């Protein structure tokens, strides 16, 4: 592909990543979309008052956001790679802990990666994490985290007679009715979440920082020339997403 064609495609891809990425980022900031709950009510007495079950659906999953965002970056990384590989002669390897992620990378692409990894950090940092006020376990069937069932009581008020003054020969007893709360039933609640664990988000951010450090080190060595198709996005982003 000619360089002018690559440049035209690059502009289109960058526009798409900016638009769709902004939408995902805005959704990531709405943490309420990542959480849900299930509530069921059971009266103490068989003839007690009944209440309908309640549920709040988890509308967003952090993992889905990661996959969509990373798919956008993967296309962008590969498009810019085609341009930079064609435009540069200075190259260097990107290694993390002795592991080769990319070989012979042009300096212009290394400069591009530095900016993109900063954006990735912003994207990941915006994703909600599980709250520490609950103990969460992963439900692999739903792909969601959930809590143990929590039982809470619902009360109702009943009238209870009390004696204010005992009866005497001259006067009858003085009584009154007071309100007394009694347990009418119980709510059983399970909280659901599509958020990340704190450790998972921390590890993703650590890996982005490691990749960014490796890119900066490679840039210091780099030199460049003409490009062929390079699947740089998968090589880099799949490593960040590794569990």
Indicate if the pLDDT at residue 221 is higher than 80: no
Q: Which of 46, 123, 108, 132 is nearest to 232 (CA)?
A: 108
Q: What is the residue-wise DSSP string for 218-231? A: HHHH--B-------
* Contact criterion met (CB below 8 Å) for 94 and 77: no
Indicate if the pLDDT at residue 119 is higher than 90: yes
85-110 pLDDT, tens digit per residue, is 766 566 789 999 889 999 988 878 88
Q: What rounded mean pLDDT belongs to the chain?
A: 87
Q: How many domains are there within the chain?
A: 1
- Strand locations in 89-214, DSSP E? 91-96, 99-106, 136-139, 144-147, 150-165, 174-193
Q: Describe the chain by its helix, strand, coil percentages, rounded to 5.
A: 45, 30, 25
Q: What is the pTM of this model?
A: 0.58
Top-confidence residue, 173 or 17 = 17
Contacts of 90 (CB under 8 A, 6+ apart): 106, 107, 222, 223, 224
* pLDDT bracket for residue 113 (50, 70, 90): very high
CA 52 vs CA 42, 76, 185: distances in Å = 10, 49, 13
- pLDDT given for residue 222 in this prediction: 63
- pLDDT given for residue 90 in this prediction: 66
Indicate if the pLDDT at residue 78 is higher than 90: no
User: Which of the 8 DSSP states describes residue 52?
Assistant: -
Q: Which two tokens mark 48?
A: 């007690």
Neighbours of 19 (CB within 10 A): 10
Indicate if the pLDDT at residue 236 is higher than 90: no
Work out the average pLDDT over 208-221.
89
How far apart, in whole angstroms, are the C-alpha atoms of residue 70 and residue 126?
Answer: 14
Range of the domain at 183: 3-241
**Which H or E element spans position 123?**
helix 107-126
């Amino acid at each position: 592909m000619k360089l002018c064609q690559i440049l035209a495609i690059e502009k289109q891809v960058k526009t798409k990543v900016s638009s769709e990425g902004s939408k995902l980022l805005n959704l990531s900031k709405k943490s309420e979309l990542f959480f849900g709950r299930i509530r069921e009510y059971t009266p103490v007495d068989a003839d007690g008052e009944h209440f309908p079950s309640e549920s709040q659906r988890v509308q967003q999953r952090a993992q889905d956001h990661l996959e969509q965002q990373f798919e956008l970056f993967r296309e962008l990384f590969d498009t810019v790679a085609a341009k930079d590989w064609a435009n540069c002669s200075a190259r260097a390897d990107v290694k993390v802990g002795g592991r080769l992620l990319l070989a012979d990378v042009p300096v212009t692409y290394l400069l591009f990666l530095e900016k993109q990894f900063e954006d990735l950090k912003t994207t990941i940092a915006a994703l909600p994490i599980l709250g520490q006020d609950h103990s969460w376990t992963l439900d692999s069937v739903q792909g969601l985290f959930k809590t143990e069932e929590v039982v809470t009581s619902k009360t109702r008020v009943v009238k209870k007679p009390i004696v204010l003054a005992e009866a005497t020969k001259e006067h009858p007893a003085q009584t009154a009715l007071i309100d007394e709360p009694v347990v009418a039933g119980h709510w059983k609640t399970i909280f659901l979440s599509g958020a990340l664990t704190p450790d998972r988000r921390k590890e993703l951010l650590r890996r982005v920082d490691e990749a960014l450090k490796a890119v900066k080190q490679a840039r210091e060595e780099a030199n460049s020339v003409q490009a062929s198709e390079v699947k740089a996005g998968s090589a880099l982003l799949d490593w960040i997403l590794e569990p």
